[in-house]
Amino acid sequence: MRAGLIVALWAVAAVLIMSIVALPISLQAHLVAGLTVVACMIIIKFMRAQGIWRLIALALGTAIVLRYVFWRTTSTIPPITEVASFIPGFLLYLAEMYSVMMLFLSLFVVSSPLPSRKAPQIDPQNLPTVDIFVPSYNEGSDLLATTLAAAKAMTYPADKMTVWLLDDGGTDEKCNSSNTAAAQQARERRAELQAMCASLDVKYLTRARNVHAKAGNLNNGLENSTADLVAVFDADHAPARSFLTETVGYFTKDKSLFLVQTPHFFINPDPLERNLGTFQTMPSENEMFYGVIQRGLDKWDAAFFCGSAAVLRREALQETNGFSGVSITEDCETALELHSRGWTSVYVDKPLIAGLQPDSFASFIGQRSRWAQGMMQILRYKFPPLKRGLKISQRLCYMSSSMFWLFPFSRFCFLVSPLCYLFFSLEIFTASGGEFFAYTFTYMMVNFMMQNYLYGRYRWPWISDLYEYIQTIYLLPAVLSVIANPSKPTFKVTAKNESMEESRVSELGTPYFIIFGILILGVIATGIRVWAEPYKADLTLVTGAWNVLNLIIAGCALGVVSERATRRQSHRVRVERPCRFIMGDEIIDAVLKDVSVGGGRLHVPPSAEPRLKKGTAGTLEFQPFANLPVQHLPVEIRKVGMDDKGLLLGCRFLIEKAEHRRMIADLVFANADQWSNFQKNRHHDIGVLRGTLWFFMVAFYQTGRGLSYFLGLQRIGSSSPPAPSVASAAK
């Protein structure tokens, strides 16, 4: 009875909304209605109202969006007889309708995401066996040793857990290559990694040929192992000790469960965060996906495998003959196949691994191109909306996940459309300046408010626009190529742990400066058209304002492609671990303040200053989280400084044996709580207005920095302060 009443109420609300959408009202009345809705949404947001009030706010916003769609569809598309205007005008209309569709799919997915789960208790008498797979292709032994040591240290009975290094860089095919140098390199790699695995007590496995890329490598691991569950970690994804205790319990509670996925947390900034200086203060791009979208997908049993930081059931994988390898995004494809067969998934909203993001802009674009092309392959080959076996809700979720990667088409249309009018007088919008302003302004305001409702603590205003813009230039041809030939893309490993020796413009940066120059010409064209055609000034000014918004985003992108120098190859993590620094017979109490896989920073009393100098060797003693055979790590002092509380020692770890790798993994990766705490410090909603002011300040600064790099004034650009703070934007 209650369910039927709720459905009836929603049906009545839908009818009322549709009536409002089609109601013929004056332009002034629409503007007042739109601003009233925005005001209501702001009040509800200010009151921090949740539950039904949150849904009411989103419903009000939906009404304004639908009214905009009705107006665009019935009143603004150029006549088909005017071909020169109709074609770009209709393409712009399609781009806007795509954006609206993705907004509504987002509303369906994340309007009420699941809260964080609590891990089920594990029965010590009924523990499943687990194989831990670490697939590798060209990663160095130091990186692999850290990940393997962290995996080996996970809290789980040793007789129930086996760690495997799946090496695709030392296959028989590579070792017997006709290229003598490449073959020698592959044989040396195989020998080196075999010795490393033996020292860490993990299993080394390679195969005959490199077929089906990562999916083929994982399937080779399945063929040579027998455990009930399979945990997968990328080569640069080191797990915390609690990873298995936080995930395995779900499989004992639900026999139909094929996947437990956890977030990907990164200890280093991506190129945008690094070059804009926002890593410590602004939520990362991936946090919107792992913090909101995956929880929303989880509600509809559509959380999917993300290639790493996950546990899967072997029995389920056997149904599909292992990991799917038709597309180059084997993770999502595998989840889609298993969901369609009735298997279920769970998403655990707690970072339990720490990984590395691409450091250079070129590597970042390469990674995103692979994701985009892989999702387009899934769309072409599997077409989730019509995939047999999926529930309607799952179809919509996979539709949202795959069709998102069509954004380069809409972003390109939004970029060039105002220029079509300013440069060529093509009337792609048959509306007056007043109509354009009233409908578009209210639509944009409502859209921003709805996005803020959905993602406020995880994505700040305009940041999604910036991320989409910097990817569009290279993803557009990549997506077009896979649409034309879906079998063309091949799996390419993303480079990690790169070093940027000097400040420079990225090798992919030139098109961004060209586009910025064209948009500047658009500003000049706006002024010329207002002077030459004053009777069209309203439409010209509105279109010019649109072009200026594009210019602001494009200017900020100049800072993204202007790479800041960074010579540190290992990334530091803040910790607070008591320890002792030992030199011969002398023991000095200290505190570890931050640490990386290469070294750490110690805080010691000032009384020790005369004895602690650069080049001094010693031993670091601390209490590890795991039960390790040794608790002493040899170090060398590389830097001596001072603050108001004592001496600061920059130390380099001297790795002499495998146990030292385990100690470093314990220092850096064992404690999962530090990742959650770091994220919480960045999860705050700065609001639409303050976020917009902050973004415009950042864009202004980054435009100047980017131009200074382009003109060869890198020293000026690299010595400038980081992006303006949120606090300064509020003043």
What pLDDT is attached to residue 723? 59
Whole-angstrom Cα Rg for the chain: 28
CA distance 180 to 515: 45
Can you state the angle between helices 510-532 and 688-710, rounded to 10 degrees?
110
Q: Is 488 left (phi over 0), alpha (psi -120 to 50) or beta?
A: alpha
Q: pTM score, two decimals?
A: 0.91
Is 650 within 8 Å of 641 (Cβ atoms)? Answer: yes
Are 135 and 493 in contact by the 8 Å Cβ rule? The answer is no
- Alpha-carbon gap, residue 240 to 131, rounded angstroms: 16
pLDDT at residue 100 in the model: 94
**Average pLDDT rounded to a whole number, residues 367-375:** 94
Can you tell me the distance from the alpha carbon of 433 to that of 537, in angstroms, rounded to the nearest whole number? Answer: 8
Least confident of 107-111, 337-341, 623-627: 623-627
Which pLDDT score is estimated for 610? 62
Q: 476 with 482: CB under 8 angstroms? A: no
pLDDT of res. 497: 60
* 17 Ramachandran zone, left/alpha/beta (phi>0; psi -120 to 50): alpha
Strands 573-583 and 617-622: antiparallel
Residue 37: its pLDDT value, please? 82
* Same fold? 130-357, 573-682: no
The residue with tokens 């080394």 is 204
In this structure, which amino acid lies at residue 195? Answer: A
At residue 731 the predicted structure's pLDDT band, cuts being 50, 70 and 90, is: very low
- Summarised one tens digit per residue, pLDDT across range 421-437 is 999 999 888 888 788 88
492-508: pLDDT as tens digits: 666 666 666 788 999 99
**pLDDT tens-digit map of 452-496:** 888 988 999 999 999 999 999 999 999 999 998 888 766 666 666
Look at the alpha carbons of 191, 192, 193, 195 in this order and tell me if their dihedral is positive or negative: positive
In this prediction, residue 63 carries a pLDDT of 85
Name the nearest CA neighbour of 599 among 627, 573, 564: 573
Interval 146-205: pLDDT, tens? 999 999 999 999 999 999 999 999 999 999 999 999 999 999 999 999 999 999 999 999
Q: Is the dihedral of CA 497, 498, 499, 502 positive or negative?
A: negative
Range of weakest confidence among 188-202, 393-407, 454-468, 636-650: 636-650
User: In this predicted model, what pLDDT tens digit does every residue of 541-590 receive, in sequence order?
Assistant: 989 999 999 999 999 999 999 999 876 656 788 888 898 888 888 888 88
High-pLDDT (> 90) share of the chain, %? 58
Could you tell me the pLDDT band of residue 246, with boundaries at 50, 70 and 90? very high
Q: How far apart are CA 544 and CA 437, in angstroms?
A: 12
Per-residue pLDDT tens over the stretch 269-314:
999 999 999 998 999 889 999 999 999 999 999 999 999 999 999 9
Q: Which of 261-265, 297-301, 314-318, 675-679 has the lowest mean pLDDT?
A: 675-679
The rounded distance, in Å, linking the Cα atoms of 558 and 513 is 7
Q: Which of 356-365, 628-637, 716-725 has the lowest mean pLDDT?
A: 716-725
Domains in the chain: boundaries: 1-112+406-563, 130-357, 573-682
pLDDT the model gives residue 515:
97
Query: pLDDT value at position 716?
Result: 44
Is the pLDDT at 730 greater than 50? The verdict is no
Higher confidence at residue 612 or residue 581?
Answer: 581
Of residues 129, 343, 123, 352, the one with CA closest to residue 229: 129
Q: What is the pLDDT of residue 720?
A: 43
pLDDT confidence of 729, banded at 50, 70, 90?
low
Query: At which residue do the structure tokens 């530091």 appear?
Result: 572
Q: How many helices (H) and strands (E) would you count in the chain? A: 27, 17
For every residue of 120-172, DSSP letters joined together read PPP-GGGPPPEEEEEEESS--HHHHHHHHHHHHTSSS-GGGEEEEEEESSS-H
Q: What is the mean pLDDT of residues 41-53?
A: 75
The candidate with the shortest Cα–Cα distance to 608, out of 633, 568, 637, 566, is: 637
Helix 463-484 to helix 537-560 angle (10° resolution) is 80
Q: How far is CA 416 from CA 94, 270, 516, 543, 544, in A?
A: 14, 28, 12, 11, 12
The residue-averaged pLDDT of 703-709 equals: 94
Handedness of CA 599, 601, 607, 613 (dihedral sign): positive
Q: What is the per-residue pLDDT for 501? A: 72
pLDDT beyond 80 at 1: no
Vertex 234: Cα angle to 231 and 237 (nearest 5)? 95
Strand partners, 656: none
In angstroms, how far is CA 101 from the centroid of its own chain? 22
| 2 pLDDT higher than 80 | no
Whole-number average pLDDT of the chain = 88
The neighbour count for residue 212, using CB atoms within 10 Å, is 19
Distances (CA, A) of 48 to 51, 52, 642: 10, 12, 45
> Hey, what amino acid is at 386?
L
Q: Which residue type does 547 have?
A: N
Give the model confidence (pLDDT) of 161-172 as tens digits. Answer: 999 999 999 999
Share of the chain above pLDDT 70, in %: 91
Residue in 172, 356, 317 with CA at minimum distance from that of residue 231: 317
Q: Residue 659: what pLDDT?
A: 87
Residue 622 and residue 590 in contact, taking contact as beta carbons nearer than 8 Å: no
Highest CATH level, class, for 130-357: alpha beta
Query: Which CATH fold would you assign to the domain 573-682?
Result: Thrombin, subunit H (2.40.10)
Residues 239, 154 contacting (CB under 8 angstroms): yes
d(C-alpha 618, C-alpha 186), whole Å: 37
Identify the pLDDT of residue 429.
83
Per-residue pLDDT reduced to its tens digit, 78-128 = 999 899 999 999 999 999 999 999 999 999 999 888 888 888 988 888 899
